[in-house]
Amino acid sequence: MTDNDYSFGTQHEPHIDQDNRADYRLTARARVILELESGPPGMLEDALSADKELVCGIRDISAGGLCLFSADPVSLDALLPAMVFLGNHDQPFRLMVEVVWCRPHESAFLVGVRIIESDETAYIEWVEAVAKAMSEG
């Protein structure tokens, strides 16, 4: 699969790995960068060092959340800035996410995050992109 391959639902996934999102999910091969620590006020977002970021793969997406593959566990209830890279978009979506669950999966972790609606993020653009991907599926 490429970064812009999507398919509907998670019918092939074991029940244990499904989360409680109300929105329909698209499986996606893409990536997200979670900002684990914020820099001092006034620091440019793009000047963050790599040790303050966690790069994760995406298992599935919906308008309201993401399921991530992570090499490291992530703290529950953490509010984290995220940049979501989807293959068919030139720019990443800058979003705010809340970690809802985190559990071991094979040699890594699955992490469920809820996307927080905020005027200072690309929330509206994200919802529109997911709606478009679903209509094209």
The per-residue pLDDT for 29 is 64
pLDDT classification of 137: cutoffs 50, 70, 90: low
Q: What is the CATH number of the domain that holds 117?
A: 2.40.10.220
Q: Give SS3 for 62.
A: coil
More confident residue, 89 or 73: 73
Residue whose C-alpha is closest to residue 81's, from 16, 37, 132:
37
List the structure tokens of 57. 């793969």
The C-alpha atoms of residue 125 and residue 73 are separated, in whole angstroms, by 28
Evaluate whether residue 13 is within a structural domain.
Answer: no
Evaluate whether residue 45 is within a structural domain.
Answer: no
The C-alpha atoms of residue 43 and residue 98 are separated, in whole angstroms, by 22
Beta bridge partners of 42: none
Evaluate whether residue 2 is within a structural domain.
Answer: no
Evaluate whether residue 5 is within a structural domain.
Answer: no
pLDDT classification of 2: cutoffs 50, 70, 90: very low
- CB-CB neighbours of 111 under 10 Å: 27
Evaluate whether residue 119 is within a structural domain.
Answer: yes
Residue whose C-alpha is closest to residue 76's, from 53, 118, 109, 49:
109
Tens digit of each residue's pLDDT (9 = 90 or more) over 24-68: 545 566 899 999 876 555 454 544 445 589 999 999 889 999 999
pTM for the predicted model, two decimal places: 0.73
pLDDT of 20 strictly over 70: no
Tens digit of each residue's pLDDT (9 = 90 or more) over 98-127: 999 999 999 999 999 999 999 899 999 999
Q: Which region, left, alpha or beta, applies to residue 77 given φ > 0 means left and ψ of -120 to 50 means alpha?
A: left
Evaluate whether residue 97 is within a structural domain.
Answer: yes
Give just the sign of the alpha carbon dihedral 13, 31, 38, 65.
negative
Domain count, the chain: 1
pLDDT of 77 strictly over 80: yes
pLDDT of 5 strictly over 80: no
Domain that holds residue 126: 30-38+51-136
Evaluate whether residue 93 is within a structural domain.
Answer: yes
